Structure 1
Amino acid sequence: MFTALRSLAFMLAFYVGSALYVLAAMASNLVAPQSIPAVATGWSRFHRACARWLLGQKVRVEGVLPKGPYLYILKHESMFETIDLLCLLDRPAIAAKRELFDIPFWGGIARRYGLIPIEREAGASALRALRTAAKATTAQGRAVCLFPEGTRVPHGESPPLRAGFAGLYALLKLPVVPIAIDSGRVSPRGKFMKRSGTITYKVGEIVPPGLDRNEAEARVHAAINALNLAYPRSP
């Protein structure tokens, strides 16, 4: 019962607060577009505070997060990390599904912030556009982030990487920082009930650019699944 009450309090506080942040972002988009990154980062911090104080979820980082234009490849288990990335890194550019940019109002805000649209079945022209956007991002010293599994997966599962990773790795020629995440243990996909506990980011060994595709994928796949056995799924 206590877990249910905490989950309800989180949902009410976070979604009401998020509506206010969306309104603030829309206003900023009209009068001060340069302030959108600050609004987005504030929203991410608000989300982390709600998770910490209403759900009892702490965040732990194992390893060192390098700063600068890296390609971050992350495990994807829940909504938590998609929002928390703006707390974890300095204004990261997250590769997101192209159709999200067609959502009224939100799409314009996403573009102003600097998210990168990615098409699952990208042709040559789409790949060129992706490379141009990513190059512009890294020229600003910002990191590019990708969830290579394509969707949230239950904790403990390790599906193969989708083709998007190999494409970005070859196009950008950046060192890769793989990160394992175990958020699905306490905030499982599609579940209302969210448990207290510690969400861990485990930073893997940097994968240099220029490796054979199979070797790069094998290294990244192993690194982002490093927490599957270390922290088994909660019952």
Structure 2
Amino acid sequence: MTDPDSARPLDVVRSLLFYAVFYLGTPVFVAGALAASLVNEEALRRVVRGWSSFHRLCARWLLGIRLVVEGQLPEEGVLVALKHESFFEAIDLPRAMRWPAPLPKAELMDIPGWGWAARRYGVVAVEREAGAKALRAMVASGRTFAERGRPLAIFPEGTRVPHGQRPPLQAGFAGLYKLLALPVVPVAVDSGPLYHRRWKRPGTITMRVGERIAPGLPREEVEARVHAAINALNPPA
């Protein structure tokens, strides 16, 4: 596997240009999101989608990274389980789907400005050490979003994973699947080799939408099926 800290001079230049344009442009969208959240929900959704689209444009034209989606990402209230190899798929969610409700780590809600805007946009904050009361609140929030036709987007492995690694799913995923009683749409992503934390590389990132999994399956079965599907773009173990 390619060393993420080694890069061609052109990749370094493109990455630095990307960082300058995207991260200097992002505060403009954050300010816009804060203002839009005082108007109405639709205005905020459009600003967030605009930020995600801005990121995809920067990735395409500054980094030379294209995205190909194989299959149809859902636009209704289901649980979408995605492989998480880089920030790319996390930032791209509002562009890839019509109006997803992400399930981010609860600590991200403490980021000044961002956390407030995220709550207004509509997310389900995941508390990894949640007690029964917090879990019930998460499930109730998730059901509300699903009933409104918003897909719930979760990274079931819990954190970013280097390409080629296949850790087990977090225990909380099966609990949410059972309590939400929603179909699961697994999505494989192979962004890791291109969208490194430091130097990015040109190429094509693929999102492969797997077969929809019905609610109500035993824990072992749903975990095995989701784990296999989100790792479909990884090399064999």
Match for residue 202 of structure 2? 196
Q: How many Å apart are 1:103 and its aligned residue? A: 2.5
Q: 1:36 aligns with which of 24, 44, 53?
A: 44
**Structure 1 residues 31, 140: closer, same or farther in 2, change over 3 A?**
closer
Paired positions, count: 229
Give the partner amino acid of 1:193.
W
Q: 1:149 aligns with which of 134, 157, 177?
A: 157
Match for residue 173 of structure 2? 165
Q: 1:209 aligns with which of 204, 215, 234?
A: 215
Q: TM-score, normalised by structure 2?
A: 0.93
Q: How many Å apart are 1:57 and its aligned residue? A: 0.5
Match for residue 22 of structure 1? 30
- The DSSP-based 3-state class of the residue aligned with 1:229 is coil
Match for residue 140 of structure 1? 148
Q: Please identify, of 104-113 and 203-212, the stretch whose mean Cα deviation from structure 2 is larger.
A: 104-113
Structure-1 separation of matches of 2:195 and 2:31: 27
How much identity, in percent, do the aligned residues show? 55
Match for residue 234 of structure 2? 228
Unaligned runs of 5+ in 1: none
Q: Please identify, of 52-61 and 31-40, the stretch whose mean Cα deviation from structure 2 is larger.
A: 31-40
Deviations 1:160-194 (A, max 9, x none): 00012111101111110000000001012x3x210
The answer to whether the 8 Å contact 2:30/2:113 transfers is no
Q: How many Å apart are 1:32 and its aligned residue? A: 4.6
- The DSSP-based 3-state class of the residue aligned with 2:163 is coil
Unaligned runs of 5+ in 2: 1-8
Structure-2 separation of matches of 1:107 and 1:64: 30
- The DSSP-based 3-state class of the residue aligned with 2:125 is strand
Q: 1:63 aligns with which of 67, 71, 84?
A: 71
**Structure 1 residues 28, 170: closer, same or farther in 2, change over 3 A?**
same
Give the partner amino acid of 1:150.
G
Structure-2 separation of matches of 1:84 and 1:170: 27
Q: How many Å apart are 1:229 and its aligned residue? A: 1.9
Q: How many Å apart are 1:76 and its aligned residue? A: 0.2
- Whether 1:54 and 2:62 are equivalent positions in the alignment is yes
Match for residue 131 of structure 1? 139
Q: How many Å apart are 1:121 and its aligned residue? A: 1.1
Give the partner amino acid of 1:196.
P
- The DSSP-based 3-state class of the residue aligned with 1:96 is coil
